[in-house]
Amino acid sequence: MTKFKPLVEYQANKGLYELLPFKFEPLSEDDVVITNFVGEFAFISRDELRATVNKNLDPSSKTYSLMRSRHFIRELGDEASVELLGLKTRTKYSKLRNFTNLHIFVVTLRCDHSCQYCQVSRQSENRAAFDMTIDMAEKALAIVFRSPNPAIKIEFQGGEPLLNFDLVKHIVLRAKEINETQQRDLQFVITTTLSLVTDDILAFCKSHKIYLSSSLDGPEDLHNHNRPRPGRDSHARFVEGLERARSALGYDAISALMTTSPASLTRVRDIVDEYLKLGFDGIFLRHLSPYGFAIKTKSYGAYNVERWLKFYEEGLDYIIEINKQGVRFTEHFAALMLTKMLTSNDPGFVDLMNPSGAGIGAVVFNYDGDIYASDESRMLREMGDTTFKIGNLNTSSYEDVFTNEALLGPLEDSFTLSAPMCSDCAFEPWCGADPVFHYAMHGDVLGRKPESEFCKRIMGVVKLLLERMRSDPQVKTIFMGWANRC
C-alpha cells in the first residue's frame, strides 16, 4: 500500500478551471505582478495573464501549476484552495482580535534638543506645565489594562522622557503592580536621545527590563546638523550613552531610528556605515513626516517622494551588497513590507495596517490628558488640529474612547478594500490606510491616491523590492531572512 495517491491524481484536470480572486499591476510593457486574496504573488507575462482570464492557459505549463498552487485558479474539486485562502485571511487579520497593544505615554513635551524636523513642538527644559501628572498617568493606566490584548507595550515618549523620569518610574512600578493580577506580557520602551541618561536611570531600566529606542541620523557632522542641542554634542552624547546603556542593559536592548533630512539625501552610504560602525544589525531608512516642525521649518517640503525613493534605492542596494558579503544587516522598512509580502503574518506596523492601526494598533496619552488615536494624531494636535482626539483622561471612559466617532469614522472611511484605486490595487494586501497622513496632506482621511505621497512611496518601495527579488535569487534569499526574523 502506498502512502500517496498516484501522480495522475494530482495532474491538471484537462485545463478546466475557474478564477480565484486576484489583482494585477503592470511592472513593464510585457510583465505584470499578480497577487491573490492574501497577497501571495507571482510574476507572469501579459500574454499569460490574458490566457489565464480567457481560460486558455496550457494545463501542462509551469505557469498553470504556479497559478493553481498559489490559489489564482482552481479546478473542479479543488476545495482546499478556498479553505486555505480563508485560513490565511483569518491569520492575517488575527491581530485585530487582540486590539490595542502599543500604549504611548507622552510624559513631557520638554526636550534638550531643538531638531528642525521634530514632529512635536518642543518647549524649553524648565516648563513643567508640559509634563504629564501622576493623576493623569494613573487614569491612563486604568485604560491601558482595559485592553483585551494579552501583550501590552508601554512606550514613553516626549519631548525627552528622561526629563520627567520620576513619572516614568512611577508608571513602570504601578503598571507592574497592576499586572500582578492581570498577568499580561508587559513590555516597556523609552524613546530617548540618550543625551541625559545616567547610571541611576540605567539601573532602573535594568531591574525592570526596559528597552531604549534612540535616534541616530548618521555620522557625527550629519547627526549634529540634524539634531542641534546646547554644546552641539548630540552625537558624542549618543555614542557615550549607547556604550553605557549596552553595558548596563545588554547589547540588544537599545535600538536606533534615523530620519532622512534634506542633508541626508546624498549621504545614505555614510549613514549605513555609521550604523555598522556602532554595531547595529539594521537600520530604518525613514522619510520625514508632514507634522510639527517638519512643516514649520519647511523641512518636509525640502524633498519630494521621488527624491526620497532615490535615496532609499541607493541605501537598499548598498545594504544588499553588505549582506552578500556575509554581514547580516536589515533594512527595517523593507523587512516590514517583506513580512507582509512573503508570509501570512502582519507585523502590526501602524502605518501599514488596514483597517488603520490608529486606536487599534496604538493609542496615545498626551501630557495634558488628551487621548489620541496615534502618534501622528498628537503631532497634528501640536499644530493646533485636534481632529483625531478621541477622549480625555478626566472625562472619558474606555468605552467612550474606543467607540468615539473621531476614531470609528476615519477607520471606516479609510478602509482600503473599499477605497478608490486601492480596492483594485495588487499591492493593497501589503499596504495600509494611514488616515492621519492623508488628512494632514489632503484634508480628508482617504485622500486622492494618485496624488498621495504615501501611495507613491509604498508603490515605489514595493516595485523596488519585487524587481530586486525577481532579478537576483540571492536577494530573494536575503529578503526571506528579513521577513522571517526570529
Partner 1 sequence: MKLNLNKEIYSIEATQKAAYRFIDRLTILIEPVGDELVCTIDPVEGHEERLDDHVANFKRELLDQQLRKQIKEETEAVRNLILAYTFSRTGLQG
Work out which of 127, 448, 480, 484 binds partner 1, going by CB under 8 A: 448
Half-sphere exposure of 154 (CA within 13 A, CB side): 30
164 vs 452 by CB, closer to partner 1:
452
The C-alpha cell at 370 is: 488628551
Q: Can residue 117 be called a binding residue for partner 1 (CB under 8 A)?
A: no
DSSP-H helix ranges across 382-452: 398-402, 405-413, 435-442
Residues in the chain: 486
**Residue 89 within binding range of partner 1, rule CB under 8 A:** yes
Other Cβ atoms within 10 Å of 8 Cβ, number: 6
Nearer to partner 1, 24 or 372 (CB): 24
24: contact with partner 1 by CB under 8 A: yes
Binding mask 283-302 for partner 1 (x = CB under 8 A): --------------------
Residue that is written with C-alpha cell 498553470 in the block = 64
Interface with partner 1, residue 19, by CB under 8 A: yes
The three three-digit cell numbers of residue 6, written as one number: 498516484
53 binds partner 1 (CB under 8 A): yes
Asked if 399 interacts with partner 1 (CB under 8 A), we say no
Of the candidates 16, 76, 80, 82, which one interacts with partner 1 according to CB under 8 A? 82
Among 11, 21, 151, 484, binds partner 1 (CB under 8 A): 21
Can you read off the three cell numbers belonging to residue 405?
466617532
Q: Please name the residue ranges forming H helices in 93-233.
A: 94-98, 134-144, 165-182, 199-207, 220-226
Q: Which positions from 411 through 430 interact with partner 1, judged by CB under 8 A?
A: 420-421, 424
User: Residues 187-226: x/- map of binding to partner 1 (CB under 8 A)?
Assistant: ----------------------------------------
Going 142 to 147 to 152 to 158, the CA torsion angle's sign is negative
Q: Is residue 406 a contact point for partner 1 (CB under 8 A)?
A: no
Burial class (CB in 10 A: 0-12, 13-18, 19+), 370: buried
Residue 134 is a binding residue for partner 1 (CB under 8 A)? no
Closest CA to 410 of 365, 377, 456, 379: 377
Interacting residue with partner 1 among 17, 37, 165, 291 (CB under 8 A): 37
Task: Confirm if 474 and 480 have CB atoms less than 8 A apart.
Answer: no
Among 60, 86, 327, 444, binds partner 1 (CB under 8 A): 86
- Contact residues toward partner 1 (CB under 8 A) are 18-24, 26, 37, 49-50, 53, 82-83, 85-87, 89-90, 93, 420-421, 424, 448, 450-451
